[in-house]
Amino acid sequence: MKTLVKWARKNGVDLRVKMVGEGVMRPATEALVRRLGLQGVIEFLPANVDVPALMDASDILLLPSNNEGLALVCYEAIQHGCIPVSTDVGGQAEIIPPELMVGLEPTASIRDSAAAVERLWRDGNFIMKMQEALHRRYRQLAADPTAKEVLMPIYQAVAEGMEPSL
């Protein structure tokens, strides 16, 4: 955020950051935000925040993480017109285009996140291309059968003493 705040000030961008969660790292994160003088830019929100409303009011979701399976918050962001930028971990590549994926190593994550945000800010064609790619991936994944649709016939066959067809 320090890098993005510096970039935003240099470019006249009104950057506001909402950090959601109440995990064990929150006190240390709050202390770091105070130490870096970012309290006026970064607002901490509780885990039970109204996520749809937050996404409706947001342009970009940054998800720098070293451990994600498939982050459902990225799906929520897309549903609400918010563009997710994520580290390339877990199943994120299923929903996030390569241009919006950032490196896992901390320095690469910072550099790549700042570059993605700047490109989104400067390049209207890039925004449209990323929105189209995100929505296309979302629709493709939504068209896949659900776990219930796949597993229920198997469970029912086993419960009825029949051999399930796989």
DSSP secondary structure of 12-77: T----EEEE---TTHHHHHHHHHHTT-TTTEEEE-TTS-HHHHHHT-SEEEE--S--SS-HHHHHH
Per-residue pLDDT tens digits for 56-111 = 999 999 998 887 777 888 999 999 999 999 998 888 889 999 999 999 999 999 99
What is the predicted pLDDT for the residue at 15? 94
Task: Write down the pLDDT at residue 110.
Answer: 93
- pLDDT digits 0-9 by tens, 20-33: 988 999 999 999 99
Buried b (16+ CB within 10 A) or exposed e, 19-39: eeeeeeeeeeeeeebeeeeee
Cα 12 from Cα 160, distance rounded (Å):
66
**What is the mean pLDDT of the segment spanning 113-129?**
96
What the block records as the tokens of 102 is 């950032």
Q: For the chain, what is the radius of gyration of the CA atoms? A: 19
50-159 to CATH, choices 3.40.50.10680, 3.40.50.2000, 3.10.640.10, 3.20.20.140: 3.40.50.2000
Residue where the block lists tokens 């296309």: 136
Nearest by Cα to 42 from 30, 59, 58, 54: 30
Cβ–Cβ < 8 Å for 66, 60: no
Instruction: Report pLDDT for 44.
Output: 96
Strand, helix or coil for residue 85: strand
CA 84 remoteness from chain centre: 4
